[in-house]
Structures are given as C-alpha cells and as structure tokens.
Amino acid sequence: MNPVRIAVLGCGTVGTEVVRLLHEQAADLTARIGAPLQLVGVAVRRLSRDRGDLPVDPDLFTTDALGLVKRDDVDIVVEVVGGIEPARTWLVEALRAGKSVVTANKALLAEDGATLHAAAVDGRADLYYEAAVAGAIPLLRPLRESLHGDRITRVTGIVNGTTNFILSSMDETGVGFSEALDQATALGYAEADPTADVEGFDAAAKAAILASLAFHTRVRAADVHREGITEVSAADMASAKAMGCTIKLLCITESSGDAVSVRVHPAMIPRTHPLASVGGAFNAVFVEAQAAGQLMFYGQGAGGAPTASAVLGDIVAVARNRLAGVRAASESAYADLRIRPIGEATTRYHISLDVADRAGVLAAVAGVFAAHGVSIATVHQSGRGNEAVLVIVTHRATDAALAATVEELRALDIVRSVASVLRVEGE
C-alpha cells in the first residue's frame, strides 16, 4: 500500500506530541487507516532549537514551510503553528492544490475561516479542525456530523482552561484575580503574556467556531461580544458563593428565529449547574438541541498530548477519505442568520453598588431600575458607617436596558461607585 504522506508545520507544544504519536502509534494507525502514514517534513522557525529525544530524522526539519507545503510528495498538511499569517497563505496553498489540511488554529478559523473553506472547495480537499476548540474533547465532529439531523438551540461552554483555572482557585481559596493569575503562571497554565486568555480573545475565537457550526452561519471573532475576567474580584466571588453560585468565563451562543447571538463573559452560575463543577484547567461544553435534549462534553481543553489526540483523529479521518477518494461535506453556512447585537441579549444581572447610607437611597436606586423596565428580584444591604454596599439581583432584562440603568446609577450622587456588574446564567 502506498503511504499517505504528511507534512507537519510547527513542532512546539502541540506539534511535538503530534510527531511523537505518529511515531509511537504507527502500527495501529496503519491498521486503522489501511495504509501507513509517512512523515515527510516538519517546518519550524529555529532549526537550532533543542527538540530532546523527538523520534524524527533531523534531515526532515526545514524553516521553509511554504516550500514544504508545495512539495509534490505531500498529501496532508498539519498546521500547528498558529496565528493568521503566514498560516493562511500555507493552508490556502495546500487546499487549492488538493492537499487535505488538519489545523488547530482557532485564531485563523475565527478570523477568516471563509477563505479556508472556499480554498477547500476549490481544491476538492478536506479541512478538519477538531483541535481548535476544547483540545482533546470530541466536540466539533458531533456538531458537524452527529447532530446534523437535529436543531441546536444553545451552546454554553467553558472553553478556556487558563481562565477556568484562575476562577476555580479564586473560588476555592478566596484569593483575588492577580494572585490567582500568578499561581496559574507559576504552574505553567497561563502564558507569559496571558492577554489572549484573561481578556477572553481565545474563548471568543472558539465561540465563533462553535456558533458557525451549531447554527450554519458564518460567525467571526469580531461578531462575538467579549469581556474578560480581569475585573472579577474576590468580593464578587464571595457574593456568588453567598447566592449558591460560582463564577465562570462562559461562551454562550444561541439562536431563536432569524438571529444568532454569541457572547463571552464571566457569569455567575448556580453550583447545581453541570458547568459549575468543572474545575481547574478543564473545559466543558453544554449543548441543548431540540430532539436530543441536553448533552455535556467534558475533558482536557489544552496541552500538547490532549490536543495532539484531536489532531491525530483528524489525520486518520482525512487519510481514510483520501484512500476512499472522497472528501467530507463542505462548510454548512446556508442559514446565514443575522448576528444579534449584545443589547438584545436577555439574562439576569448581579449589581454591586457602594452607596451613601441615608434615607431615600434605596428608593432612588430602585427608581432607576424601574425607569428602565428592569425588575429587581432581590436586594441585600450591608452597612459600614455612613456608607453601605447594595447587592441587587434582577429578573431577566435586556443588556441594553441594564446598561442604561447602570449609566444612570453612576450619575447619582448617592452612588459612590458601581463596584461590579455580572450576568447570572444557567437558572
């Protein structure tokens, strides 16, 4: 049997494990695919980098990724470099030339997946990207195959391990955000520059990919309403605990009628919700579908070996397709739904206010909520001298109504500050 020839672009955290698994599982992979996989090249940035005991012939390494992609003896291109360019150029080149592509590059898919999908159609090639969302968890294939006969209504997920680790340690130990981030960095969960994780960019890219697949609509990272976790305080976490909740960075995408909404933000969820018990750096995604009901996917969302597991699964699938002379179904974007602005999203809110403690304050504050049609569910006041902290939880209201309420509260002289505003989900 002729081998299926693979070029791997990138040999870092994920690429190293991909290459290792290709070597270690070679016999089983051959049996499962019906032909051997042959590694024909590995593109890296630095040839001089020490790659330890990696079982790869040193002559296979190159810094010319585009040259490797263009070679005639390449059937499958595996891209585990990341970023928009030059990855997009490499993958478009590969796909247009009829080479199958497996990528973990969530940033590129969320920024310009349309270009990649179009190139795959042009070249009649496969484009697989299971590893791009939630690492090892089989999630995209269930969305794009198993659930294609159903109607998905909502996907709620914890899709960033770093922020889940930080929020879990804030919940468990009572520390503030900065201290929890330092712990995450010391333990190797957070990167030296944690911006993409803590500001929600990484989760927003994953949310765009999930929304596109769930709702058959092209959703880009720029369409996602995004808030990070840097403003979540120890006091917020304590307040959540007092309500029987915890705080998670959630990605939420839902569709009703002609529109899809996609948002990433910290939110309080009840401890009884299945996502509340997802601790540490784990990921979990909760899918609600009309016929299937509620489904939960859970596992390791990051790390070299877990992510490589998803990459290898895709390699097996595209290799089998090549041998059978077929390709998977193209992108499904027929629904072309409108992206619902965040102002139209409805949920409940937890608002913490520092106020003056004197007669009429509660009435004035309540009046602002009433003026914007935001109904108050509970109020809790704790005093300290001439000042008090008011914690208000609302019934469901639109984001626009809540934003207008908060703006007016900020302008009141009896309100010293709006200490925090958090959404309450999952009830």
Binding residues (CB under 6 A) for ligand NDP: these are: 10-15, 43-46, 49, 65, 80-82, 86, 104-106, 131, 135, 302-303, 307
**In angstroms, what is the minimal distance from the CB of 109 to ligand HSE?**
12
Using the rule CB under 6 A, which residue among 197, 223, 227, 314 binds ligand HSE? 197
**In angstroms, what is the minimal distance from the CB of 160 to ligand HSE?**
4
**In angstroms, what is the minimal distance from the CB of 165 to ligand NDP?**
13
Long-range contacts of 370-375 (CB under 8 A, 24+ apart): 371/405, 371/408, 372/397, 372/401, 372/402, 372/404, 372/405, 372/408, 373/397, 373/401, 374/349, 374/401, 374/402, 374/405
> How far apart are the C-alpha atoms of 280 and 244, rounded to whole Å?
19
Confirm or reject binding of residue 160 to ligand HSE (CB under 6 A).
yes
Window of 62-70, 155-163, 327-335, 336-344 that interacts with ligand HSE by CB under 6 A? 155-163
Grouping H, G, I as helix, E, B as strand and the rest as coil, residue 54 is: coil
44 binds, among ligand HSE, ligand NDP, none (CB under 5 to 8 A by kind): ligand NDP
131 binds, among ligand NDP, ligand HSE, none (CB under 5 to 8 A by kind): ligand NDP
Q: What is the dihedral of CA 311, 317, 319, 323, to 10 degrees?
A: 180
Closest listed residue to residue 169, CA positions, set 160, 181, 158: 181
Given a contact cutoff of 8 angstroms between Cβ atoms, the answer to whether 399 and 364 are in contact is: no
| Helix 13-24 with 26-33: angle, nearest 10 deg | 80
Q: Quote the longest CA-to-CA distance of the chain.
A: 86
CB nearer to ligand HSE: pick between 160 and 253:
160
Q: Which amino acid is at 53?
A: D
Number of residues engaging ligand HSE in binding (CB under 6 A): 8
Closest listed residue to residue 231, CA positions, set 276, 176, 157, 185: 176
310 binds, among ligand HSE, ligand NDP, none (CB under 5 to 8 A by kind): none
**In angstroms, what is the minimal distance from the CB of 11 to ligand NDP?**
4
Helix (H), strand (E) at residue 355: strand 346-356
Q: Tell me, yes or no, if 241 is annotated catalytic.
A: no
160 binds, among ligand HSE, ligand NDP, none (CB under 5 to 8 A by kind): ligand HSE
CB nearer to ligand NDP: pick between 42 and 229:
42
Confirm or reject binding of residue 17 to ligand HSE (CB under 6 A).
no
Query: Which of the residues 99, 106, 206, 248 is marked catalytic?
Result: 206
Confirm or reject binding of residue 162 to ligand HSE (CB under 6 A).
yes
255 binds, among ligand NDP, ligand HSE, none (CB under 5 to 8 A by kind): none
CB nearer to ligand NDP: pick between 52 and 385:
52
CB nearer to ligand HSE: pick between 203 and 388:
203
- The tokens for 22 are 């290709």
Instruction: Report the DSSP beta bridge partners of residue 379.
Output: 392
Given a contact cutoff of 8 angstroms between Cβ atoms, the answer to whether 81 and 87 are in contact is: yes
Using the rule CB under 6 A, which residue among 208, 260, 302, 402 binds ligand HSE? 302
Closest listed residue to residue 239, CA positions, set 382, 361, 367: 382
**In angstroms, what is the minimal distance from the CB of 69 to ligand NDP?**
11
Using the rule CB under 6 A, which residue among 142, 161, 200, 306 binds ligand HSE? 161
CB atoms within 10 A of CB 360: 10
> How far apart are the C-alpha atoms of 155 and 152, rounded to whole Å?
8
15 binds, among ligand NDP, ligand HSE, none (CB under 5 to 8 A by kind): ligand NDP
Alpha helices by DSSP H, listed for 153-215, are: 161-173, 177-186, 195-198, 201-215
Confirm or reject binding of residue 202 to ligand HSE (CB under 6 A).
yes
Closest listed residue to residue 76, CA positions, set 266, 277, 317: 317
Backbone dihedral angles phi then psi of residue 54, each to the nearest 5 degrees: -60, 130
**Where are the strands (E) in 291-345, listed by range?**
293-300, 338-339
**In angstroms, what is the minimal distance from the CB of 155 to ligand HSE?**
17
- The tokens for 159 are 């899709």
**In angstroms, what is the minimal distance from the CB of 81 to ligand NDP?**
4
Confirm or reject binding of residue 123 to ligand HSE (CB under 6 A).
no
Window of 37-45, 90-98, 158-166, 312-320 that interacts with ligand HSE by CB under 6 A? 158-166
**In angstroms, what is the minimal distance from the CB of 119 to ligand NDP?**
18
Window of 34-42, 159-167, 240-248, 348-356 that interacts with ligand HSE by CB under 6 A? 159-167
Residues with catalytic annotation?
A: 206
Tell me which residues touch ligand HSE (CB under 6 A): 135, 160-162, 197, 202, 301-302
